Amino acid sequence: MSYKSCSSFELKDIDLERQRSNTKDKAGTRITYADALDDEEAGPAMDRNRYPSMARSFVRDRRNSVSSIRTTRSNLELTRTITRRRSIDPEATLPIGFRTLSIHVEGTKEKAPLPVGKGKGTSKSQAVELTNLDWHKLSLDELQKRLLTSITGGLSSAVAKTNLARNGPNKPTPVSNKLAQRVFWYIFGGFGSLLITASILTFISWKPLGSPPAEATLALAIVLLAVNAVQAFFNAYQDYSTAKTMSSIGSLLPSDCVIVRDDTNITVKSENLVVGDLVRITMGIKIPADLRLTEASADLRFDRAVLTGEAEPIPGLVDISDENFLETKNIALQGTHCVGGSGYGIVVQTGDKTIFGRISVLSQGKKEGKTTLELEIFRFVRIIVGLALVTSVMVVILWAAWLRRDHPRWITTSLLIVDIVSVCVAFVPEGLPMAVTISLTIIANKMKSSNVLCKSLATVETLGAVNLICSDKTGTLTMNKMFVVKAGIEEKEWTPEEAHDDYITTKTNPEDPVRVLHSVASLCCTATFDAATLNLPLSERKMFGDATDCAVLRFSEIISPIANIRESWSKIFEIPFNSKNKFMLRMMRPISQEAFLDATLSTERRTYSLADYHMTIKGAPDVLMSRCSRVLLPSGEIVDLTEERKQVLQAVQEKWSATGLRVLMFARKIVPDAEITQDLGGPDATAFATYIEQEARQDMICVGLVGIVDPPKEDIPEVVSICRGAGIRFFMVTGDFKLTAAAIARQVGIITRAEVDTLEDLQRDLKVIPNHHFVRSIVLSGPELITLNENQWSQLCQYEEVVFARTTPEQKLRIVKEFQSRDNIVAMTGDGVNDAPSLKAADIGIAMAGGSDVAIEAADMVLLEDFGAIVQAIESGRLVFDNLKKTVLYLLPAGSFSELWPVLTSIVLGIPQSLSSFLMIIICCLTDAANSMTLAFEQPEADLLLRRPRNVKTDRLADWKLLLHAYVFLGIPECLVSFAMAFWWMQRSGGIPFSVFWLSYGDYPAEYSAGQIQHAINVGSSIFFVNLVIMQLFNLLATRTRRLSIFQHPPLFSQRSRNPYLFCGMIFSLLVAFLFNYVPKLQSILGAADVPVEHWFLPVAFGMVLLLLDEGRKWFVRRYPTSFMAQIAW
């Protein structure tokens, strides 16, 4: 969706069609905002240099005057920072359900224009209101006065309460549910149109074609309408129940944001934001409302692709950059994402008044395409309907070319229509849509109980076909509750408590190295304590920040309280941590002599002064080592970082990493004030940022290492084991050091082999690559992935156990695509901004609820609590497909086989139709439909998670194995026995031998009266009906398991496998059979008759034989899994 289409609001009515010139990028046309000014009246573009930096001066004044809140916001006061980051490429589809977002990984597609003019809010007055927005033009002083807020302390609680009552919650007006349109699809969707058409044709067959009109034909037409009404009810129920369940799950997703209110940082629900609130913006969040930026780091970037479809993130500025509210960069629009940097913004619009809200009101929900599950179902139905149509055409041709001429009284036009309707309706599995409805409703409830959010229920079925899971480490496999457990300066190591003791005892020592490490760790950290919990013990305090920084903050606080340190320093510049840099940098300046003395050694105090700058940096040792030229020793001496000392540091890193610790290096450098010249332009200038980046590349001093533990979640080893048993490979993809990643992988069971392969084991020119998986382990780093050729990738894709370490977002995306290109169904888990492209590219993207908004919205599935819930989701995905196969198998023997032959034999062989058309419809639409629905409640078989994943290319809902079993093993016996029972009774009790009917075409011997013939046909038809209904009950018991015996998977008395609904369906079927065969009025209307008592028991015996035969088949398949019988088993 482009801003041009969604923000102009019919601007052509007021001559606002002028656009800025478009620029091209490699993905397509870059769509810009429509200008909000008339072509003739619009002035020249605003000169950005014309406005003084009011925000910067105000922030500097604020820092000098407002010291009371430094404790709570000391690390949240953000000046300009800079970073480089890969753009994320979302695709827009509005309105967004369940916080969904489409993110391109190939390129941006140009969006079709929004159909404006049909929703409310498309009036000219609303367009004028949009063009008159001036929040971006106000100075910060004017903004504060208009909104009664503060850019330092936010709103007061009293004003916030008033604003909330006046403007309402920050959420869009619910979209109209279009009841009439939905009711139409409930009635005519799916098989509804077929049933209604069949009913209309049957009414026509009754009158005027019926001569005389038959009551049975009228009853048949009414039954078809009733069945359609039942299906419409199920469609409506599924729509309602699924929407209700998924909506309740969606409400569990985190939608909080951090704001400043009453000079205090607090966390509130996004819907409780009010105009005037001061919102903290951090990398990875979704902007909760339209914000006017009051602080912006130099690398602040917003991804507006959710609104524009454009690939490139735009920068965030404090000053106005364009007269157009939609073009200016000092406005952060609701629904967009912060993909870099940090800042603060004042809420200026909420709810429907935001740009996103206006679009949501205007837009109509785009109908999604069919899911893989729906396509699979309709593929099967198309085959069945095609067979039905072919059969119907053949019947019509036979009737028109032969029967109408040679046997005109055998089948009239009215009876022909009824026969065709019967054939078509018999072929179509009416119970299948209802079974799908119930299955999806059950899945929705299971997902709710398991705290798994699937943005589409069909996603679960796709998850059932996954054969490879690529999992992030931090926060997914581990608790994301990090603690520093070791600190080291060269070879000397401390625990945090030991470091505290050393700090206390040597505090007055001017050469104390712990004091220097403590200073750097305290300053180079973005995490802060919640002011409301400062009086609590350290273990109980609440912290703001990512897990790594929280661990560093806790470590620093253990050594010595950091509040005084942070108050004594002024932050000049910052480069936040990101997955590419793998380091964080802060340029600090002491504001007191005490702070300067506390952070320096005696030798440095003779060279540097209070006016100099301290550059502090923390990050991965392998990244920072090359930037360091000197190292701090345990003695407090600073010496050159020789190769020997590098090896010492690397040995410490490897030793800690091998135990699963994440290792960070701290370094610093003092930059003389004289080097920061006026030519650099200050912290806001690009030249200044470039200078800092260059300075950070050389002559840093390594002041120490810390080892951080992030314990694996307790349930992860079991999850990995279950997935592996289910034929799903489980890989780790992380940005951590190779040894750390390998150690954690061993702890959770991802690596089980003693020997681990490396890059050298992948041959560049291997001639023949095996098509089976290697039962071997391999660990590769991101830089090593770059060197792989296609041959090596093909070898890598055959490994059973793989760990990818030191990966970048681009490499994660490459991993997904390489495995997908080799016929793998890939599930990718992640929780960071950098995971979004790979989450979107994967067949199933899985995010954790505690992850970034970008990751959550890029994913197809969100795990709200434990990662172990993925096992339940996989099982549910396999179960829904398994149960639908069982449903199809149950419906075919009677529906499209045993009911077809009475019509065909009547037409071709001239014998009476042994199963009346009405009773044929009753089986399809009532007895079989009811029983098939009960299969949706089947519990998973014990071996469901021991099978290989479904191959989406070859494992069909109805493949040749299933059709063979349905028609040959089940259909032929049911059909032959039913025929035999019907004609056996006619000969034995009715006194009419079969030879009388053979090729008679209605011309019966005169010795048999018409009444005698009709009574025999009626009783025979009822016997055929009862025989088929009862044998189908045993078919139901047989098809509820694929391999297991009924004693291994009993329908009763076992909590794991019980399904009492089976017997409810059976009782219903028998009641229907009694009703239509024994109620006198129905008998006379429908041509049914009393069924002799022995014909209620004989089908039980036949059904038992059928069940025993299937039990024998299952036993043979289990006993001889490689036999021919096992190979053709469904």
Write the pLDDT tens digit of every residue in 775-814.
889 999 999 999 999 999 999 999 999 999 988 888 999 9
**Res. 600: pLDDT tops 70:** yes
Place of tokens 């959770």: 748
CB atoms inside a 10 Å sphere around CB 187: 18
**Res. 16: pLDDT tops 50:** no
Angle at 803 between CA 800 and CA 806, to 5 degrees: 160
Output 1122 or 61, whichever has higher pLDDT.
1122
CB 330 within 8 A of CB 294: no
Q: Coil, strand or helix: which one is 587?
A: strand
> Helices 215-250 and 192-206 meet at what angle, rounded to 10?
160
| Residue 523 shares a structural domain with residue 562 | yes
**Res. 957: pLDDT tops 60:** yes
Output the CA–CA distances (angstroms, integers) from residue 678 to 236, 374, 688, 709, in the order listed: 71, 66, 10, 44
Give the residue from 309, 331, 362 where a domain finishes.
362
CB 1091 within 8 A of CB 1077: yes
Alpha carbons 131 and 36: distance in angstroms, whole number: 5
What is the distance, to the nearest Å, from the Cα of residue 334 to the centroid of all Cα atoms in its chain? 22
Angle at 437 between CA 943 and CA 186, to 5 degrees: 165
Q: What is the mean pLDDT of residues 426-449?
A: 77
CB contact set of 11 (below 8 Å; sequence gap of 6+): 17, 34, 127
Give the residue from 315, 338, 362 where a domain finishes.
362
Name, of 216-230, 245-259, 591-605, the range with top average pLDDT: 591-605
Q: Coil, strand or helix: which one is 251?
A: coil
The answer to whether residue 593 is domain-embedded is yes
The answer to whether residue 780 is domain-embedded is yes
CB 271 within 8 A of CB 289: no
**Res. 46: pLDDT tops 50:** no
List pLDDT tens digits, range 397-410: 988 998 888 888 88
List pLDDT tens digits, range 445-494: 777 788 888 877 667 778 888 999 999 888 788 887 899 999 999 889 99
Output 1059 or 308, whichever has higher pLDDT.
1059
Q: Across-strand partners of 29?
A: 24
Residue 177: band (very low, low, confident or very high) from pLDDT cuts 50, 70, 90: low
Give the helix ranges, DSSP H, for 894-1009. Answer: 900-909, 917-922, 928-934, 960-964, 972-988, 994-997
- The CATH number for 1059's domain is 1.20.1110.10
Q: Across-strand partners of 702?
A: 631, 667
- Residue 564's H or E segment, with its range, is helix 563-567
The answer to whether residue 1054 is domain-embedded is yes
The answer to whether residue 690 is domain-embedded is yes
Output 53 or 505, whichever has higher pLDDT.
505
Strands 483-489 and 492-494: antiparallel
CB 304 within 8 A of CB 310: yes
| Residue 346 shares a structural domain with residue 204 | no
CB 961 within 8 A of CB 1130: yes
Amino acid 376: pLDDT: 80
Please count the structural domains in the chain.
Answer: 4
**Res. 1040: pLDDT tops 90:** yes
- Residue 90's H or E segment, with its range, is strand 89-91
Q: Coil, strand or helix: which one is 583?
A: strand
Alpha carbons 939 and 1051: distance in angstroms, whole number: 9
Question: Which pair of structure tokens corresponds to residue 277?
Answer: 């609130």
- The CATH number for 538's domain is 3.40.1110.10
Amino acid 617: pLDDT: 96
The answer to whether residue 367 is domain-embedded is no
The answer to whether residue 370 is domain-embedded is no
Alpha-carbon dihedral 1099, 1105, 1107, 1112, rounded to 10 degrees: -170
Alpha carbons 1075 and 1126: distance in angstroms, whole number: 42
Question: Which pair of structure tokens corresponds to residue 28?
Answer: 């397509």
Angle at 482 between CA 477 and CA 485, to 5 degrees: 120
Question: Which pair of structure tokens corresponds to residue 122?
Answer: 């498309």
| Residue 571 shares a structural domain with residue 695 | yes
Amino acid 311: pLDDT: 54
What is the distance, to the nearest Å, from the Cα of residue 618 to the centroid of all Cα atoms in its chain? 34
| Residue 460 shares a structural domain with residue 398 | no
Q: Coil, strand or helix: which one is 266?
A: strand
pTM for the model stands at 0.72
Output 80 or 467, whichever has higher pLDDT.
467
C-alpha gyration radius of the chain: 37
- The CATH number for 832's domain is 3.40.50.1000
Alpha carbons 1045 and 77: distance in angstroms, whole number: 68
CB 223 within 8 A of CB 203: no
Indicate if the alpha-carbon torsion angle 1063, 1065, 1068, 1070 is positive or negative: negative
| Residue 317 shares a structural domain with residue 189 | no
Could you write out the three-class secondary structure of 473-510?
Answer: CCCCCECCCCEEEEEEECCEEECHHHHHHHHHHCCCCC
Alpha carbons 745 and 751: distance in angstroms, whole number: 5
Question: Which pair of structure tokens corresponds to residue 1087?
Answer: 């041509």
**Res. 506: pLDDT tops 50:** yes
**Res. 70: pLDDT tops 60:** no
**Res. 99: pLDDT tops 60:** no
CB contact set of 513 (below 8 Å; sequence gap of 6+): 489, 632, 633, 634, 635, 636, 703, 704
Q: Please list the active-site residues.
A: 472
CB 655 within 8 A of CB 695: no
Question: Which pair of structure tokens corresponds to residue 989?
Answer: 């009790």
| Residue 150 shares a structural domain with residue 198 | no
| Residue 468 shares a structural domain with residue 493 | no
Q: Coil, strand or helix: which one is 993?
A: coil
Alpha carbons 846 and 901: distance in angstroms, whole number: 50
Identify the domain containing residue 961 by its residue range.
Answer: 181-245+376-448+874-1127
CB contact set of 1019 (below 8 Å; sequence gap of 6+): 985, 986, 989, 990, 1089, 1090, 1091, 1092
Alpha carbons 215 and 1086: distance in angstroms, whole number: 7
Amino acid 253: pLDDT: 57
List pLDDT tens digits, range 202-238: 889 888 887 778 787 888 888 888 888 887 887 787 6
Output the CA–CA distances (angstroms, integers) from residue 639 to 366, 511, 600, 628, in the order listed: 65, 13, 15, 11
Alpha carbons 883 and 899: distance in angstroms, whole number: 23
Out of 105-109, 499-503, 912-916, least confident range: 105-109
Alpha carbons 651 and 490: distance in angstroms, whole number: 10
CB 912 within 8 A of CB 992: no
Select from 653, 637, 608, 609 the least CA-distant residue to 516.
637
> Helices 1010-1039 and 1061-1078 meet at what angle, rounded to 10?
180
- Residue 941 sits at φ, ψ, to 5 deg, of -70, 155
CB 1009 within 8 A of CB 1074: no
% of the chain residues with pLDDT over 90: 41
| Residue 467 shares a structural domain with residue 541 | no
Residue 252: band (very low, low, confident or very high) from pLDDT cuts 50, 70, 90: low
| Residue 946 shares a structural domain with residue 1027 | yes
| Residue 442 shares a structural domain with residue 464 | no
CB 701 within 8 A of CB 640: no
| Residue 829 shares a structural domain with residue 746 | yes
CB 811 within 8 A of CB 580: no
CB 119 within 8 A of CB 361: yes
The answer to whether residue 253 is domain-embedded is no
Q: Coil, strand or helix: which one is 868?
A: coil
Q: Coil, strand or helix: which one is 1072?
A: helix
The answer to whether residue 257 is domain-embedded is no
Output 913 or 434, whichever has higher pLDDT.
913
Give the residue from 865, 891, 921 where a domain finishes.
865
Residue 991: band (very low, low, confident or very high) from pLDDT cuts 50, 70, 90: confident
CB 818 within 8 A of CB 731: no
| Residue 688 shares a structural domain with residue 781 | no
